Structure 1
Amino acid sequence: MPAPPFDTVLVANRGEIACRIIRTLRALGIRSAAVYTEPDAGARHVREADLALSLGPAPGGYLEIEAVVEACRRAGAQAVHPGYGFLSENAAFGQALAAAGIVFIGPDAQALEVMGDKIRARHQVAAHGVPVVPGAGEPGMTDEELMAVAGTVGYPLLVKPSAGGGGKGMVAVATPRELPEALAAARRTARGAFGDDTLLLERLISSPRHLEVQVLADRHGTTLHLGERECSLQRRHQKVVEEAPSPLLESLPDGSLIRDRLGAAAVAAARSVGYVGAGTVEFLVSADAPGEFFFMEMNTRLQVEHPVTEETVWLGDEPLDLVAWQVRIAAGEPLEVPQSDVEQVGHAVEARVYAEDPSNGFLPSPGIAYGVREPFGEGVRVDSLLEETTPVPEHYDPMLAKIVAWGEDRETALRRLDEALAQTVVLGVHTNLEHLRFLVTDADVRAGRLDTGLIERRGTQPGRWVTEEQLAAIAARYLEAEDAGGQPPGYLHDGGGNGTGGHGGSWDLRDGWRLGTPRPRLLTLETRDGSRDVAVLGTPGAAGTDYVLEIDGTVHRVAPAEAYDSDTATVNGRRFPLSIGLRQDAWLPATAGGRGTPGAEPPPGYGEAWVSAEGWSAKVHRPTRRELLERRLADPGKAGGGAPAGPGPEVRSPMPGTVVAVPVSNGDRVEAGQLLVAVEAMKMEHRLTAAVAGTVTVLAAVGDPVRRDQLLAVVHPPAELPQEGG
């Protein structure tokens, strides 16, 4: 067995990609060093590495070149793998490593500089015969200059940051009127994400397909293309589902010829900058004229979607491991594989699992992930940061995992992916699992009729509501937990809203059911569609007896042994899949036994139940006595508080983040739909607009950190004027 090319490699990244790189380093016999910031101190990649070094308390530590280089010195690392994002395409980082005598596992500085600037990259590849999208833009151009040349590009067009990648900062513009605000938003994002707010404009191709070609090049003159990936299923220019090979090319009589032309163009683009290592050349292909394709950009790093290429490509007689080849090439090893020995076998599809809430505009959902169950089975691969009680910080990208399925053909791969998504359980945060199943079973997706606008056209499938049977199972879980561990004071209440104050008295039914109790014990549970009261008519007193619960006049019997099983619940004699997790372990309330702190309020998240079944998940909240009292005082006609009110004059932050723009001032007259505040969270900018017309009062400034639901602005509608003669 050959000696490892390096003794120690530092992984300058976090999350699932850091875990994936560490896995290959271990297989190669290389010592791995992880880095982390304070929010990631307990993260999976920190525990899986052989050594972990802190970058300090700042969430942005992964971007601090000097801190990462110093971590390399402390770890004794001879090389750095940057993963993707953060410093992976930063030429200054590569130069700093070279100055310190540390190998950067990636391309040389020239390739990083040229391909990291979309304007320079367009000029570079065009000079080598690679077709580019019509566009305009040069470094230093102002918004006014870009608006002046926009007409030569033509509408609709796309505003793109010249630096960076991953779709961040891209804004589609349909008319000249939309352009000024789009330029301002794109510059903000580009400046914050990449430190460079240079912009360019490109023609927006109608019915576009997004195809990309994986390339691999050594330092000895060999550059290979490893087939294409289809990445057309995107939301806000961010890829969601990717696959290899492209169903478009597979469906065409001359698809193999187009594939060869794409591969040749990708190799030409890579060679134009003397590229070394693994990289991806991205193209736009018109669905109406698939023989025409245009260069978009080159990603000078490993791509998020690289597993679908690894699952379908063999180099000679070896399965492909792109990370292993990145390490070997960085150490000077030759590829020694001709293009003719690159073989593509079968089909693979990848779905990105995000901590986000599709029912609330796909807003990121930070928190603590628990109750995690990842899929397994033939042809299934999972690259993940998840484990039990995984923190999902608000500071970073919300991607949790990538689920990949391989099959002999596309139909098999899609079926296996859908089954794998159905097996996946993540409690504690909202995820897009249900939406992913909606996508991979869509008729057009199944037929391979894809384009980058398909997700936007489909919209969001309405999320399923918690059924009465599921609610009964959740209520039984609350009762089981309280009987086992002590009841929070006032957490249960009777029909009059009075707290029970602990076990005992006429409401303690653990010694057998008592049907027909005149004032039954009640639990109020809140779901997405409003509040529901659950009356406890009976609780188990002996083996084999059930919880007896009444919801809206219907009685349900829940088997206690199954009510909180990790996989199923049994209600009314019917067993069905349902994973239930209850947040009651983070706080110890005061009880008759003297435990806990008398009068203490439970922390945020206490008493929440999370449920999941076949890729569907939901949160159920059990309000405290204080919450119930406040709601009844605010609206005596609603016992449980009812559903939340619709949009109004108050503008609140949808999640924790930082204010990045406030384009209005106190006293300004604003219209409905006008931008008031922009908040950045989990690498996304959230635009908060006025729901009504009126005069605005602003309560936040650029740079302010904000909490979830914090009031940021108020729009005061104009007072109604008295009618003439009134």
Structure 2
Amino acid sequence: MTTPLFDTVLVANRGEIACRVIRTLRALGIRSVAVYSDADADARHVREADLAVRLGPAPATESYLHIERVVAAATSVGAQAVHPGYGFLSENTAFARRLEEAGVVLIGPPASAIEAMGDKIRARDHVAARGVPVTPGAGAAGWSDEQLIDAADTVGFPLIIKPSGGGGGKGMTVVRDKGELADALVASRRVARSSFGDDTLLLERFVESPRHIEVQVLADAHGAVVHLGERECSLQRRHQKIIEEAPSPLLDAATRAAIGEAACEVARSVDYRGAGTVEFLVSDARPDEFFFMEMNTRLQVEHPVTELVTGVDLVEQQLRIAAGLPLEVPPLAFSGHAVEARLYAEDPERGFTPQTGTVTLLREPAGQGVRVDSALIDGLVVGSDYDPMLAKVIAHGPDRATALARLDAALADTVVLGVPTNAGFLRRLAALPEVQSGALDTGLIERSDLAAPPTPALARTIAALVEHERAERAATSAWSRPSGWRVGASRAPRYAIDGEELAIDAGLVASLAPRIRMLAPADSAARVPGAPASAAAEPLEVTLTHNGRRLTALVARADDATWLHLDGATHRLARPNRAARVAEHRAGLTRTPGTADPTIRAAMPGAVVALGAASQDTVAEGQPLVTIEAMKMEHTMLASIAGTVTLTVAVGDQVALDQVVARITPAEPEPGPAGGIEGDPA
């Protein structure tokens, strides 16, 4: 294509999807305009665009979700069109209509199609009338919790609560017993209201052992509606997709044709234009039986796997359709297999809670069949204002086994030091026998043991060696060198690493023969201005021999931890200072060995949105105490023991990771029988 479809396109999004859209705009010779909040002033998408416009402060409601500011940004730079990416305003009918009023093209479907598919209840009824199969359900705008509870028996248990106006798994809750329903409705409404501005809920029958399969559709203004095959999205946690692939290992040719035609019928029913995805539940036991769930009227996170197996650039097709041109896609044919893994800033060992930090060292994978869609750069500050997804690692191969093997190798080569990620979890998940064989369903993760293995002793040893090297380099005299002369018997320097004191002696160093060198500073174009650049903070490379193997470790400091990437895995090793070690020791002196810690700490940074008790209340073990929200996710801290609680936070407070949010004074034991001690036969 030699003639640009548009002269200027504004990308109304952030992160990896903004970078991905900009990549196609650049390839087509179209000027790209980024928008950003104050939190994203130095973000990668801002750097990669031809022009960038500030929207406002960090909160999304004052920046990326602020319709008037986004429209004003588009008109101020003369953009003929706006690409909304996914999330934020991508499925907002008011935004679509406002752009139309401003004479700016939305690279997406008409407002009428967004509206028809945006309400899950209306969408179900609409497609059912066109003969598309749907699961039993109930709910309507204005229904109270009491009305939903009354209708639950008709729907049947187990059932799933869904926010009518949203997606991405937010607010969705599986309820197996009617006694759990009232509390679950309250929580789902709160999430729906905060995430989508609409707390209407829908109940649907929950299909046991379901497969989540979606179909990519394209429709132009000339009456053409096609599908580009399906994606398997069954590997989910809390209804959030984690690993996706194309094509599905479940469907045969006949079912692929049938589900594809059903998806096209959904698109035709609302006079759809653009790229969209129709999602279905498919019974694992009956792969020829499928039920409509919803239609996402936008580009999906997982669209790269479809691009890799079909050779179609979906963003280019979106641009063509928005410009009024006909579709340009070859007949459906899959070339090999593709798998995508979502890289999140989260800690799987803390219940997958979102995490923050500064990227002190970044290495992204490359190689045959590997694609990375990323927002990461060295020095990036990952905050708690937005979704925690950082990047997507995608692998393509001639068959499914090759694609999975390449994905594993790519994840092993993914180095993000300074921010916890789920990279190790993704490798363990992809290695499960069920995943390797294609025997998937949406409950597989919950049933599987995917706990991280213990940190290898070698990782702690390398961290201690690095601390020793840093101390040696920082020494200003023989007296301050950790390995210098001492009065009396010699004593190897000791370092507190991840709860263990390690001694550095000549024998250890000789056995590993380490070579430690400071890595060259990251290219200035890829590092965030103002990012740490001191010798103490700069990353190091350690090359050593262990058990006959030559290994290379990448090591960096961040906060009170040493970060280390070794042998395909990343480790965060606590490096507490003396004051922290003394405080922990004193806390242990007042606690009976084996008992739970009465101090409740925040499992993630964020805002306090709800309290389950008041100070000086008597609480039971396991009782909800403090609910924290960050990156569109809620996490509730529970009472570790029974006793009297003292809260240290209030609703609306911002809390940091591991900040104390409550303390519990243990309940006094019940007195024994009169005249003796309880349990004493006297």
Q: Which amino acid aligns with 1:504?
A: A
Determine which of 367, 380, 386 is the counterpart of 1:377: 367
Match of 1:147 among 128, 136, 149: 149
Query: Following superposition of structure 1 onto structure 2, how do residues 507-546 of structure 1 map, counting pairs within 5 Å?
Result: 507=481, 509=483, 518-527=489-498, 531-538=499-506
C-alpha spacing 1:526/1:473, structure 2 compared with 1 (3 Å) = closer
Of residues 314, 317, 320 in structure 2, which corresponds to 1:325?
317
The alignment status of 1:4 with 2:19, answered yes or no, reads no
Equivalence for 2:555: 581
Deviation sequence 1:182-225 (CA, Å, 0-9, x none):
10111111111100010010001011000000000001110101
In 2: Cα distance, 1:646 partner to 1:69 partner? 57
Unaligned runs of 5+ in 1: 250-254, 314-318, 488-501, 539-547, 584-604
- Match in the other structure for 1:87: 89
Task: Tell me how far apart the structure 2 counterparts of residues 136 and 508 of structure 1 sit (CA, whole Å).
Answer: 70
RMSD: 2.5
Contact 2:429 2:450 in 1 (8 A): no
Q: Give 3-state SS (helix, strand or coil) of 1:62's partner.
A: coil
Distance 1:416 1:123, change over 3 A: same
- 1:474 corresponds to 2:463: yes
By how many angstroms is 1:634 displaced? 5.7
Does residue 258 of the first structure (1) align with residue 260 of the second (2)?
no
Report what 1:545 is aligned to: none
Q: How does 1:305-704 map to 2 (within 5 A)?
A: 305-313=302-310, 319-335=311-327, 337=329, 341-467=331-457, 469-484=458-473, 486-487=474-475, 503-505=477-479, 507=481, 509=483, 518-527=489-498, 531-538=499-506, 548-549=507-508, 556-561=511-516, 569-571=543-545, 574-583=548-557, 605-606=558-559, 608-631=561-584, 647-704=596-653
Q: Distance in 2 between matches of 1:243 and 1:172?
A: 25
| Equivalence for 2:299 | 302
Contact 2:354 2:631 in 1 (8 A): yes
Equivalent residue, structure 1, for 2:158? 156
- Whole-Å separation in 2 of the counterparts to 1:325 and 1:503: 66
CA gap 1:663/1:142 in 2 versus in 1, 3 angstroms: farther
The number of residues matched between the two structures is: 654
Distance in structure 2 (CA, Å) of the matches to 1:222 and 1:23: 26
Name the amino acid aligned to 2:400.
R
Distance 1:557 1:118, change over 3 A: same
* Distance change (3 Å), C-alpha of 1:636 and 1:287: closer
Distance (whole Å) between structure 1 residues aligned to residue 562 and residue 634 of structure 2: 29
- Supply the distance in 2 between the matched residues of 1:701 and 1:208 (Cα, whole angstroms): 40
SS in 2 for 1:678: strand
- Distance apart, 1:563 and its partner CA: 9.3
Aligned partner letter, 1:194: F
SS of 1:328's equivalent in the other structure is helix
Change (3 A) 1:648 1:56: same
Residue by residue over 1:132-185, the C-alpha shift from the partner in whole angstroms, topping out at 9 and shown as x without a partner, is 111110111011111111011111110110011111110011101111111011
Residue 375 of structure 1: how far off its partner (Å)? 1.2
Aligned equivalents of 1:462, 1:561: Cα separation in 2: 28
Distance in 1, matches of 2:589 and 2:254, equals 72
Q: How does 1:93-112 map to 2 (within 5 A)?
A: 93-112=95-114
Partner-residue secondary structure (3-state), 2:658: coil
Gaps (5+ residues) in structure 2? 520-538, 677-682
**Change in 2 beyond 3 A, CA 1:614/1:295:** farther
How has the CA–CA distance of structure 1 residues 614 and 235 changed in structure 2, closer, same or farther, with 3 Å as cutoff?
Answer: farther
User: For the structure 1 residues 173 and 259, does the alpha-carbon distance in structure 2 shift closer, same or farther, using more than 3 Å as the test?
Assistant: same
**1:673 Cα deviation (Å)?**
2.0
Q: How does 1:10-29 map to 2 (within 5 A)?
A: 10-29=10-29
Change (3 A) 1:389 1:68: same
Tell me the alpha carbon deviations over residues 523-544 of structure 1, each in whole angstroms, 9 at most, x when there is no partner. 32332xxx22233335xxxxxx
Partners of 2:328 and 2:239 in 1: how far apart?
A: 37
Match of 2:524 in 1: none
Taking the aligned partners of 2:16 and 2:567, their CA distance within structure 1 comes to 23
Tell me by how many angstroms 1:336 deviates.
5.2
Q: Deviations over 1:581-626 (max 9, x none)?
A: 322xxxxxxxxxxxxxxxxxxxxx4453111124411112333343
Equivalent residue for 2:267? 270
Aligned residue for 2:493, secondary structure, equals strand
1:429 Cα deviation after fit: 1.4
Determine if contact 2:482/2:493 at 8 Å carries over to the other structure. Answer: no
What is the letter of the counterpart of residue 610 of structure 1? W
Query: Distance between the aligned counterparts of 1:217 and 1:717, measured in 2?
Result: 63
Distance, in Å, in 1 between the alignment partners of 2:544 and 2:487 is 23
Work out whether residues 465 and 504 of structure 2, in 8 Å CA contact, stay in contact via their aligned partners in 1: no
Tell me by how many angstroms 1:718 deviates: 2.8
Residues 107-141 of structure 1: per-residue CA shift (max 9 Å, x gap): 11111111111111101111111111111101110
Paired with 2:459 and 2:614, the residues of 1 have a C-alpha distance of 48
For normalisation by structure 1, the TM-score amounts to: 0.85
Asked whether the 8 Å contact 1:188–1:660 carries over to 2, the reply is no
The residue number in structure 1 matching 2:530 is none
Aligned: 1:58 with 2:61: no
> For 2:550 and 2:403, how far apart are their aligned partners in 1?
26
Contact 1:477 1:563 in 2 (8 A): no
TM-score by length of 2: 0.91
1:374 shift after superposition: 1.2
Kindly tell me: are residues 699 and 481 of structure 1, through their superposed partners in 2, closer, same or farther at Cα, counting changes over 3 Å?
closer
Is residue 222 of structure 2 the alignment partner of residue 230 of structure 1? no
Deviation at 1:566, TM superposition (A): 6.2
